[in-house]
Structure 1
Amino acid sequence: MIGLHEIYIVGGLFFAACALLGLRDRDNPRRWLNGLFWGGLALSFLAGDALGDFGNGLLVLAMVAVGAAGLGRGGVATTGPAERRERAQRRGAKLLLPALVIPATVLAGTLVFKHLTIGGVALVESRHATLVSLTLEVLLALGLCLAWLRPAPAVPLQEGRRLLDAVGWAAILPQMLASLGAVFALGGVGQAVGTLVGEWLPLTTPLAATLAYCLGMALFTIVMGNAFAAFPVMTAAIGLPLIVGRFGGDPAVMGAIGMLCGFCGTLMTPMAANFNIVPAVLLELPDRNGVIKVQIPTALPMLLINTTLMYILAFRAW
């Protein structure tokens, strides 16, 4: 049965290849730090189960120390600017086809894998059908690109490594913040927040609970930088005990729209460095907060719309 373990193996092999390629890049004065960082991430993917909680904790602390020392950027380029420009002009919009293959086939794979069995045994774990589909379709898109564009076999790995070096430690920030959210949930932060909110706000109606939950998702995301980190805290504090438990709201609607409210907060915070700061650095924008300033006029109306939708849809039977 294909599940999360196999997905981690694919990711771990990729990060291991990036670590090895980075170590061989003599144009990067910090290649040893890059190799240690991405190698540590590969180790967590490939052997995390064997390391256990304590071992993984030590590995994370070591990666933090390496990342704090500063990662470097390599100098290996698979193509030059003129060559890339010529190829882009020659192929035009067709270059988007491999990227479009992924969402279309992931949707199909998610629907099919949940019901696909061999000899009465499920081929894919149903709860991980979407992740398995995404992994397989990324590999499929990679194969299509190799067959169509015919680069050298090492080019995809070199370009992936180059992008990781450009982004740096922020590439794994969502994973770290999501883990932080899980730690907060286990530590009872959600219950503590719920108690404080209940003392200061009169959450006696579905509307009041909806406003507190949706605005809280956005605000916690702004503070923590990731909606996945804010979700377990706000859901434990307000979503489950009030919206679902007291007022009988639909938990599926609450969860889906609540995450969208959190994503509105993502658009407005420098804490979401991988989304808002890294692009500004890569594009060499004069204002590092330029991306955030452009996104705020979209994020605020969307937050209002999502809050309204939750109030309408979560408490009514259609």
Structure 2
Amino acid sequence: MIGLDLVYGVAGAVFAIFAVSSVRDRRWANAAFHGLIALSFLAGNRLGDIANGVLVLALVGIAASGRMRRAEPAPPAEDRYGARVFAPALVIPATAVLGTLAFKAFPGWVDPKQATLVALTIGTLVALGLCAWLLRARLHEPIVAGRGLIDDIGWVAVMPQMLASLGAVFALAGVGEVVGRLIGAVIPAGSVFGAVAAYGIGMAVFTIVMGNAFAAFPVMAAAVGVPLLIRGAGGDPAIVAAVGMLAGFCGTLLTPMAANFNLLPAALLDLKDRYGVIRAQVPTALPLLAFNIALLYLMIA
């Protein structure tokens, strides 16, 4: 049955190509960084916990060294294809949606839990083939373009995975229970609005600190969502989870820790204000957070 092995295999192969390409350019830090990511994708489940931990520390050390650098930018390609250049990009989401529906309708070939990721990976491969046929792209061109993009992104490429892992570590360490006791000592007993406000604001605050709403969710769900809103107030688990994540996403708009969303665009657009994206999002994030808190209260009370 096809599952994450396909996804990890394709991702690992791509990063291995980036590593080899960086070696050819004598960009040793980039080569080591991409090579370690490739190793984690291709053999992470066989390395063991200690080895994977050392690998992550090595990635952090390389990123913090400041030795990663960009390659010489490739000359811009001549635009001879007009709107056709959008066709491969549109194939990816289309294949992801249709593939997910097909895999779930006809189980047995693909792990149903990973249907979307498998379909997304297949869509990417189909798009590459379409580029070669429709745009007459040579084999090295998508590799050079992809390497340029990953060089622009840099170490930020692995931040979402690390932050999501941090949330799992916090949950296993019992941080949610500690936070729950602290919140329980502050809000009035039986106050649904107090619990909702603590949950929504807590999701935003933990997201600001951790940079990822998926990392904040296990903590706040254990602290407030499950004990106070679902068990205590009888809230629908799906509604509590969905609106809580929306509240967390408001925190994503406000934090440099969400570097892939807020710092990377500023770097790619060469903005003078490194935090210009965050400043522009504040007027949206705060009212939206208040709206989510009010919405959740109305749906529970």
TM-score of the superposition, structure 1-length normalised?
0.89
The separation in 2 between residues aligned to 1:248 and 1:131, in whole angstroms, is 33
**Aligned residue for 1:50?**
46
The separation in 1 between residues aligned to 2:121 and 2:93, in whole angstroms, is 11
Structure 2 unmatched runs, 5+? none
**Aligned residue for 2:88?**
98
Alpha-carbon distance, 1:203 to partner? 5.3
Structure 1 unmatched runs, 5+? none
The separation in 2 between residues aligned to 1:171 and 1:193, in whole angstroms, is 30
The separation in 1 between residues aligned to 2:241 and 2:176, in whole angstroms, is 15
Alpha-carbon distance, 1:115 to partner? 2.9
Write out the 4+ residue segments of structure 1 that deviate beyond 4 Å after TM superposition. Answer: none
SS of equivalent residue, structure 2 residue 281: helix
> Aligned pair in 2 of structure 1 residues 96, 175: CA closer, same or farther (>3 Å)?
same
The separation in 1 between residues aligned to 2:261 and 2:291, in whole angstroms, is 22
**Aligned residue for 1:75?**
72
Letter in 2 for 1:23: V
Correspondences of 1:173-188 after superposition (within 5 Å): 173-188=159-174
The separation in 2 between residues aligned to 1:136 and 1:305, in whole angstroms, is 38
2:7 aligned with 1:11, yes or no? no
Correspondences of 1:95-134 after superposition (within 5 Å): 95-117=85-107, 122-134=108-120
1:275-317: per-residue Cα shift (whole Å, max 9, x none)? 111211121111111111111112222222322333334x38x
Correspondences of 1:125-274 after superposition (within 5 Å): 125-202=111-188, 204-274=190-260
**Aligned residue for 2:22?**
22
267, 270, 273: which one pairs with 1:281? 267
| 209-218 vs 39-48, which moves further | 209-218
2:32 aligned with 1:36, yes or no? yes
Alpha-carbon distance, 1:235 to partner? 0.9
The separation in 2 between residues aligned to 1:291 and 1:76, in whole angstroms, is 25
> Aligned pair in 2 of structure 1 residues 103, 310: CA closer, same or farther (>3 Å)?
farther
1:158-206: per-residue Cα shift (whole Å, max 9, x none)? 1111111111101111111111111111111111111111111225233
Give the superposed CA RMSD.
1.7
The separation in 2 between residues aligned to 1:307 and 1:144, in whole angstroms, is 45
SS of equivalent residue, structure 2 residue 48: helix
The separation in 2 between residues aligned to 1:108 and 1:205, in whole angstroms, is 45
SS of equivalent residue, structure 1 residue 114: helix
> Aligned pair in 2 of structure 1 residues 144, 306: CA closer, same or farther (>3 Å)?
farther
1:6-44: per-residue Cα shift (whole Å, max 9, x none)? 211111111111111111125xxxx11100001001101
The separation in 2 between residues aligned to 1:261 and 1:73, in whole angstroms, is 36
Q: 1:25, 1:76 within 8 Å by CA — same for their partners in 2? A: no
